[in-house]
Amino acid sequence: MLANFHFFTFASPPRFYALAGRLIPWLWAATIALAGAGLYIGFFRAPTDATQGDAYRIIFIHVPAAWMSMVLYMVMAFWAAIGWAFNARLASMVARAVAPTGAIFTFVALWSGALWGKPTWGTWWVWDARLTSELILLFLYLGYMALVNAIDDTRRADQAGALLAVIGSVNVPIIYFSVKWWNTLHQGATISATAAPKMVATMLRAMLLMTLACWAYAFAVVFTRTRAIIVERERDVKWLNEGLS
Amino acid sequence: MSWGSTAEFFAMGGYALYVWGSFGVAALCMLGEPLMAIKRHRDARAATSENT
């Protein structure tokens, strides 16, 4: 049994298609449970902030969305590069499937940031390093999606997309460190690996639960979209037309 | 529990527009995106069965 197990088994689109199909319902269940718990703690257990009042509760969607926007970009660039380097079909499909989800998290981070900035900073938007580099991230996602859709030859489109995604990935550390490198209006990192959290435990718990919910959501929706792309691309391949219900 | 009443909860200490504006738009995005992905999958499957 173990001797037959091959690490790259799930790099085969038919295997991945079946596995993802089985996982998706559980991922949605996890998303709902984690988001329910996170929202409950965030809105009913976490206390009102002493300086920001209840406006700070935006953090429970803003920070997870911002984290996801950066992580998903790296995931997209990674799989695009793997697909390009090893001509791995599934990797390129996953890269394409990640892009819209990353773009949506980027939009949510920018949107909730604007709605948080107005009551706390007095402005919806400033051209500071953190906000500007996050806006560039949105344009990178949109540019990647436009580019891969504009080229008819699938493999060439994947290669061009991979190039854009890999070059654009320099923006991710710029976003992350922007609050240190420049004197920005945006506050510093909420959670740091080197310092104790500066938050009340309930606030932190709500934020981490919401982050896990976003992870489960991202897996569920990316897997669904990957399955759609597999069907679109392998339409004429025998396995799809046989024995799949 | 920091809320005295339901109205107080929805008022969000005067920040209702900002808090519900953030969570509302996020919720719409996170409902709309999966529906679009599911539709894309369904459409692709339908096109496949037409081919055969």
Question: Over the stretch A61-109, which tens digit does the pLDDT of each residue have?
Answer: 999 999 999 999 999 999 999 999 999 999 999 999 999 999 999 999 9
Q: What is the pLDDT of residues A188-233, one digit of tens each?
A: 777 776 666 667 889 999 999 999 999 999 999 999 999 999 999 9
Long-range contacts: A118-127, Cβ < 8 Å, 24+? A118/B18, A119/A52, A119/A55, A119/B15, A119/B18, A120/A52, A120/A55, A121/A185, A126/A185
Specify whether the backbone of A188 is left (phi greater than 0), alpha (psi in -120 to 50) or beta. Answer: beta
| In a domain? residue B1 | no
Tell me if chain A has a CB within 8 Å of the CB of B29: yes
CB count in 10 Å sphere of residue A199 = 17
* pLDDT at residue A235, rounded to an integer: 77
Q: Do A55 and B48 touch (CB under 8 A)?
A: no
Q: Give how many domains chain B has, as a whole number.
A: 1
- Cβ(A25)–Cβ(A217) below 8 Å: no
* pLDDT at residue A7, rounded to an integer: 55
* pLDDT at residue A184, rounded to an integer: 79
| CA–CA separation, A233 and A153 (whole Å) | 12
DSSP state of A34: H
Cβ under 8 Å to B: A residues 177-236:
217, 220-221, 224-225, 227-228, 231-232, 235-236
Which tokens hold the place of B2? Answer: 């920091």
Of A47, A55, A225, the CB nearest to B19: A55
Write out chain B's pLDDT in tens, 52 residues.
Answer: 578 899 999 999 999 999 999 999 999 999 999 999 999 999 999 988 776 5
Q: What is the ipTM of this complex?
A: 0.93
Tell me if chain B has a CB within 8 Å of the CB of A81: no
Q: Give me the percent of chain A exceeding a pLDDT of 90.
A: 76
| CA–CA separation, B28 and A111 (whole Å) | 13
Q: What is the largest CA-CA distance in chain A?
A: 63
| CA–CA separation, B13 and B35 (whole Å) | 34
- Cβ(A176)–Cβ(A8) below 8 Å: no
* pLDDT at residue A191, rounded to an integer: 73
How far from each other are the two terminal CA atoms of chain A, in whole angstroms? 27
Tell me how far the alpha carbon of residue A92 is from its chain's centroid: 16
- Of A97, A185, A101, A133, the residue nearest B41 (C-alpha): A97
Tell me if chain A has a CB within 8 Å of the CB of B3: yes
The residue range of the domain holding B29 is 6-51
The answer on pLDDT for A245 being more than 50 is no
The answer on pLDDT for A54 being more than 50 is yes
Mutate to test the interface with B, among A60, A231, A233, A241 (most CBs of B within 10 A): A231
The answer on pLDDT for A1 being more than 50 is no
- Cβ(A178)–Cβ(A184) below 8 Å: yes
